[in-house]
A and B are shown apart, each in its own frame.
Chain A
Amino acid sequence: MENETAAVIDPRDELVTHLGVLRAFALSLCRNGALADDLVQETVMKAWKSIDRFESGTNMRAWLFKILRNTYYTSYTKARREVADVDGVMGENVAVKPDHDGRLAYTDFLRAFEQLPDDQREALTLVGASGFAYHEAAEMCGVATGTMKSRVNRARQKLIEILDLSPDDSLELTDSGTMAVVTSGHAVRRN
């Protein structure tokens, strides 16, 4: 009986609850606010039209991300990509690196993240930020799970190199409470 009740939820209503993360994923791909908004709108229209094909009880976020990703790579990567980040969506306020203020760690991170190749940035966004399992992210991207793991590992290594993270620095930042204190007043990178 409870299961029947749970199954009654209209997938259209559920779709609306994923719009924020869908837009965040679009921004990470496009790096341009206007393009990301267009991409989300197109994704929503496609998803809405084919909502009957969504299998109730499966992961709607993964389904939506896959539609968005396919739309992006088929329609947005060539002509539109050239205008990426014209409004500085991802690298906001990172043009000038401040000296030892509260934004340093985070802005450094955003700038480093921007330097990653597209496939690695996407892999980290799906696995590291969105919380998908490796196999889910791999399925979304149409690659083997091992390939996804490899992309994530390479991306992490690249970030560690760019940010020049030393073990001593990062040891202080392993829990979110410490992280919040440290990033509010100190730099991650030390000389």
Chain B
Amino acid sequence: MTSHNEQEKPQTALIREQLRRSFQEKASEDLPADLMTLINQLKEQDTQNGK
């Protein structure tokens, strides 16, 4: 019983590490230029609208 749980923990840790690595790699990618253009447009609109 106990050994079963002990066996699962390292496997879970491995999966968590791989998940985080995968997610962080994608999150660290350069953002698309279109997206940054959109952000700038939205900010400009807000400025023009006095927000």
Contact = CB atoms under 8 A, between A and B. Distances in A.
B31 A44 contact: no
Interface residues on B, range: 20 to 34
A41 B35 contact: yes
Interface in A136-191: 156, 159-160, 165, 167, 170-171, 173-174, 176, 179, 188
B29 A176 contact: no
Nearest to B37: A41
B50 interface: no
Interface string B1-34: 0000011111111111111111110111101101
B26 A23 contact: yes
Contacts of B12: 156
A94 B49 CA distance: 49
Interface of B: 6-24, 26-29, 31-32, 34-35, 38-39, 42-43, 46
